[in-house]
């Protein structure tokens, strides 16, 4: 080692200190000097910290790898721990600011490999941990890990070796015998590797192996306790292991079922919660009804230590959780009723998602609470029951956050919200004017009473404030609403058309789409937006282009790429909107049929349950519109 480090840059330059004041060369020497080793290491670790994107870090770590054969056992354990934790982050991607660190760590495995068979268990644990962190897939390293595991007598070192093999090779068959190991954390490490596969490959796993993996997970969670696995060698996988392993078992139906069976009804509350979370993870992953899993979730409502976890699951359960509605209502009643129960807001979200009419009374009782929110829109059939309390809340100007949520709901209800027109008109001279105009426009001609048209017309020319164009202040919304109320399209065409001519980010494209062929003079401004940045802009432009011109081909060509997230079983709002527009286009969107058939026939969900249900409904409707079913015998 020299005073200039591993390259042409001097240590004092790397440390940004005057010549002769550099510390790291002396600290590195101190690691192998009797009486200085612990003090030198503590100072060196503190000096390097967690930063991995500096030349100083790269040069120092290069020397640490080279020093491994000279370090005493205690220092080896400390240095390997350090390298494993820093290497985990540095090796996530070969691009970006950590590029130098990535190359350094991924090429370092030959320095670590001899330590797999070291005499000290802690060193063997750390060596396997480093190989796992740096993503070493070299066959020589994997063979060394397997050989050592077959003779390993230390459970922590064996756990580290199995974690490494499971991550680096996913050798399911080699790991299977370890699932029945007497030490629960060893079996848990093997289960993590066995369950590493995803998708269809996971569903094809053998029942025996997956069942053993699920039972091994249950034993490991029971042994861990306190909702955390030992930091060494599980980091960074040790936090909330029940949630992590619930997600990992979800693609494996047999493993998930075994985990639920082994933890449901367990004497320890944290394991009963693990059963609920495992059931939830599987229900989110697969579309199969699985009533036994919903029964597990619902049973948790009768357990005071598990009820909160069950309510959280049901809050995102959509209509698939409807079978749990009665038990959920009884739970809330036992807990003090809808106005007092601590998790009543989540329970309300659940009932709304289930489309249960009892939620209307609950919603009316809790409307105005700060955190009240629902993932599903409130159905218009609840309007007669909820409108009286909604109108009272709109008249209360002290809670604009509540008023905004109510206005969005009224806009979704459309004509059913007509009784609230007086309160909406009263908001047209407030900061909520834009949302109020949106709701009035959704109601349509039934809102064309009193001063509403005149106030909307005034808003189309209102000063939006310094530095803002008139249409930024809600002029487009007001002009659209004026047309919806009066039938006069002139202000909407003039204002929304000018915004379209202004280009990307300016027009509210759905207003132009609503205007349809009347907006034909502005269609040329939409064509460039079909390929512009921003998924929402492209989707909105595609719908507007088609509704204005009737020319489906450019719109379909713009919409099909927005379905790309579906290939990864993920639903995005632009993708969902694109599916709905393709369905509205009908036959000319036939090129979307393969994607839509895949969505409707897939056994897996696309995102969480409410999003998947919305996508499935939209895709089925689009399929029917694009390719209507033919009567028997019809050519």
- Residue 631 main-chain phi, psi, to 5 deg: -65, 150
Q: Over range 455-459, report the average pLDDT.
A: 89
Percent helix / strand / coil, the chain, rounded to 5? 70, 0, 30
Q: What is the pLDDT of residue 581?
A: 97
The encoded tokens of residue 3 equal 């005073």
* The predicted structure's pLDDT at residue 382: 93
Q: How confident is the model at residue 4 (pLDDT cuts 50, 70, 90)?
A: very low
CB 358, CB 344: distance < 8 Å = no
User: Are residues 28 and 60 in contact, defined by beta-carbon separation less than 8 angstroms?
Assistant: yes
The one-character DSSP state at 614 is H
pLDDT for 23 equals 83
Per-residue model confidence as pLDDT tens digits over 273-309: 999 999 999 999 999 999 999 999 999 999 999 999 9
List Cα–Cα distances, 13 to 18, 22, 55, 578, in angstroms. Answer: 8, 9, 10, 55
From 16-25, 123-132, 320-329, 362-371, the region with the lowest mean pLDDT: 362-371
Q: What is residue 3's predicted lDDT score, i.e. its pLDDT?
A: 40
Can you give the pLDDT at residue 281? 95
Instruction: Please state the pTM of the whole predicted model.
Output: 0.85
Q: What value does the mean pLDDT take over residues 406-415?
A: 93
* Rg for the chain, CA atoms, rounded: 31
* 358 membership: H or E segment, kind and range: helix 358-366
Distance between CA atoms of 37 and 51, rounded to whole angstroms?
23
Q: What is the pLDDT of residues 562-572, one digit of tens each?
A: 999 999 999 99
Q: What is the pLDDT of residues 586-605, one digit of tens each?
A: 999 999 999 999 999 999 99
Give me the numbers of helices (H) and strands (E) for the chain, helices first please: 37, 0
Which of 69-83, 153-167, 192-206, 509-523 shows the lowest per-residue confidence on average (mean pLDDT)? 192-206
Residue 50: predicted pLDDT: 82
Cβ burial of 419 (10 Å; 0-12, 13-18, 19+) is: middle
Identify the pLDDT of residue 237: 80
pLDDT at position 285 is 95
Q: Within 13 A of 499's CA, how many CA atoms are on the CB side?
A: 28
Residue 10 pLDDT > 80, yes or no? no
Share of the chain above pLDDT 70, in %: 91
Contact 435, 404 (CB under 8 A): yes
What's the pLDDT band for 341 if we cut at 50, 70, 90?
low
The pLDDT of residue 444 is 94
- Higher-pLDDT residue of 325 and 34 is 325
pLDDT score for 209: 83
CA distance 351 to 338: 12
pLDDT reported for residue 102: 87
Residue closest to 313 by CA, chosen among 298, 334, 331, 303: 298
In whole angstroms, give the CA distance from residue 333 to residue 327.
10
Residue 6, pLDDT score: 43
The reported pLDDT for the residue numbered 107 is 92
What does the pLDDT read at residue 340? 65
Q: CB within 8 A of 236, min separation 6: which ones?
A: 88
Please state whether the peptide bond connecting residue 233 to the residue before it is cis, i.e. omega within 30 degrees of 0.
yes
Please count the CA atoms within 13 angstroms of the CA of 599 that sit on its side-chain side: 30
Q: How many other β-carbons are positioned within 10 Å of the β-carbon of residue 394?
A: 23
N- to C-terminal Cα distance for the chain? 83
Share of the chain above pLDDT 90, in %: 62
Residue 197: its pLDDT value, please? 67
> What average pLDDT does the chain have?
88
> Which of 201-235 are b and which e, b meaning 16 or more Cβ less than 10 Å from the residue's Cβ?
ebbebeeebbbbbbbbbbbbbbebeeeebeebbbb
pLDDT of residue 521: 93
The token pair at 403 is 């008023």
Q: Is 47's pLDDT higher than 70?
A: yes
Of the candidates 139, 60, 57, 68, the residue with the CA atom closest to the CA atom of residue 99: 57
What pLDDT does residue 297 have? 96
What is the per-residue pLDDT across 348-365, written as a single tens digit (0 to 9) for each? Answer: 889 999 999 998 888 888
Q: Give how far Cα 3 sits from Cα of 53, 101, 416, 469, 530, Å.
A: 21, 21, 80, 63, 60
Judge whether 162 and 152 are in contact, CB under 8 Å: no
Q: Summarize pLDDT for 209-220 with one digit per residue, the tens.
A: 889 999 999 998
Cα 272 to the center of its chain, rounded Å: 25
Q: How far apart are CA 559 and CA 582, in angstroms?
A: 8
The residues near 310 (Cβ < 8 Å, ≥ 6 apart) are: 276, 297, 298, 299, 300, 301, 303
């Amino acid at each position: 080692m020299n005073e200039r480090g591993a390259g042409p840059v001097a240590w004092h330059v790397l440390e940004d200190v005057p010549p002769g004041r550099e510390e790291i060369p002396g600290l590195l020497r101190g690691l192998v000097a009797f009486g200085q080793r612990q003090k030198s290491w503590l100072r060196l670790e503190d000096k390097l910290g967690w930063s991995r994107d500096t030349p100083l870090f790269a040069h120092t770590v290069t020397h640490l790898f080279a020093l491994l054969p000279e370090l005493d056992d205690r220092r080896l354990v400390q240095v390997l721990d350090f390298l494993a934790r820093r290497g985990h982050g540095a090796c996530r991607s070969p691009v970006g600011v950590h590029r130098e660190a990535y190359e350094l760590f991924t090429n370092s495995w030959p320095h670590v490999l001899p330590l797999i068979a070291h005499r000290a268990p802690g060193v063997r644990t750390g060596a396997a941990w480093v190989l796992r962190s740096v993503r070493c897939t070299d066959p020589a390293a994997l063979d060394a890990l397997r050989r050592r595991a077959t003779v390993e007598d230390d459970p922590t070192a064996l756990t580290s070796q199995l974690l490494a093999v499971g991550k680096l090779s996913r050798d399911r068959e080699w790991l299977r015998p370890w699932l029945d190991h007497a030490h629960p954390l060893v079996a848990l490490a093997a289960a993590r590797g066995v369950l590493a596969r995803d998708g269809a490959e996971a569903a094809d796993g053998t029942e025996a192996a997956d069942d053993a993996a699920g039972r091994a997970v249950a034993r490991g969670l029971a042994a861990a306790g306190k909702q955390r696995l030992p930091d060494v060698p599980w980091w960074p996988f040790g936090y909330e292991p029940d949630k992590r392993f619930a997600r990992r078992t979800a693609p494996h139906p047999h493993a998930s079922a075994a985990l639920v069976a082994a933890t449901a009804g367990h004497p320890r509350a944290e394991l009963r919660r693990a059963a609920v979370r495992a059931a939830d993870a599987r229900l989110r992953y697969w579309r199969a009804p699985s009533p036994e899993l919903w029964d597990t979730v619902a049973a948790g409502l009768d357990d005071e230590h598990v009820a909160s976890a069950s309510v959280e699951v049901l809050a995102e359960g959509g209509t698939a959780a409807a079978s749990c509605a009665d038990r959920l209502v009884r739970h809330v009643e036992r807990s003090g009723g809808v106005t007092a129960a601590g998790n009543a807001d989540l329970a309300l979200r659940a009932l709304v998602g289930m489309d249960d009419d009892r939620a209307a009374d609950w919603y009316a009782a809790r409307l105005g609470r700060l955190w009240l929110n629902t993932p599903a829109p409130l159905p218009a059939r609840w309007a007669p029951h909820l409108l009286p309390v909604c109108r009272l809340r709109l008249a209360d100007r002290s809670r604009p956050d509540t008023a905004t949520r109510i206005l969005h709901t009224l806009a979704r209800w459309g004509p059913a919200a007509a009784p609230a027109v007086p309160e909406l008109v009263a908001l047209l001279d407030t900061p909520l004017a834009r949302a109020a105009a949106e709701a009035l426009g959704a109601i349509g001609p039934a809102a064309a009473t009193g001063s509403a048209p005149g106030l909307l017309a005034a808003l189309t020319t209102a000063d939006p404030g310094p530095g803002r164009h008139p249409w930024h202040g809600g002029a487009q919304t007001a002009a659209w609403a004026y047309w919806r109320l009066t039938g006069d399209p002139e202000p909407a065409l003039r204002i929304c058309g000018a915004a379209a001519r202004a280009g990307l980010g300016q027009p509210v494209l759905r207003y132009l789409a609503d205007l349809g062929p009347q907006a034909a003079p502005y269609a040329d401004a939409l064509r460039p937006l079909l390929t512009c940045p921003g998924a929402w802009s492209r989707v909105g432009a595609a719908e507007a282009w088609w509704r204005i011109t009737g020319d489906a081909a450019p719109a379909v060509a713009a919409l099909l790429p927005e379905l790309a997230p579906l290939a990864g079983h993920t639903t995005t709002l632009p993708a969902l909107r694109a599916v709905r527009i393709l369905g509205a286009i009908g036959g000319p969107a036939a090129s979307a049929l393969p994607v839509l058939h895949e969505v409707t026939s897939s056994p897996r969900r696309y995102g969480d349950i409410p999003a998947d249900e919305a996508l499935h409904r939209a895709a089925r409707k689009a399929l029917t519109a694009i390719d209507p079913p033919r009567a028997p015998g019809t050519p």
